[in-house]
Amino acid sequence: MYVCDLLEDPALTYPAYYILSSSMLKNEMLHGAIVSLHSFDLSYYETPKRFDDIFKMFDSGTFPIYKEKYIVGYFGNKMMFLESNGWKGMPATAEIFKLENWLVC
């Protein structure tokens, strides 16, 4: 999926595309997160108050944003972030446990 297919003039141009499965290509919640991230329109997002807020998003099928840089999903009991070449496992670092690094809606 090319970002320019979702957003005419993206503010964030890297990555310019994402390799996704056919089900993810159809996922409107993911499209919304990609548009928010690449347009820097994060008005619907806020810093979570508790970690439960992040997992509520996962349970509802929506995608939080990490460090205003990555869209994060939860698949097979594993947190993953989206890069241009697909979903990658998220390493458990101290940064993950800082709520100020997350955005939820």
Instruction: Parse the chain into domains and list their residue ranges.
Output: 3-103
Find all residues with CB under 8 Å of 4, minimum gap 6, and list them: 10, 16
Closest CA to 80 of 64, 95, 68, 94: 64
User: pLDDT per residue over 59-68, tens digit each?
Assistant: 999 999 999 9
Residue 32's pLDDT is: 96
Question: What is the C-alpha end-to-end distance of the chain, expressed in Å?
Answer: 23
Q: What is the pLDDT of residue 102?
A: 97
Q: Give tens-digit pLDDT for 12-58.
A: 899 999 999 999 999 999 999 999 999 999 999 999 999 999 999 99
What is the pTM (predicted TM-score) of this model? Answer: 0.91
CB 99 within 8 A of CB 51: yes
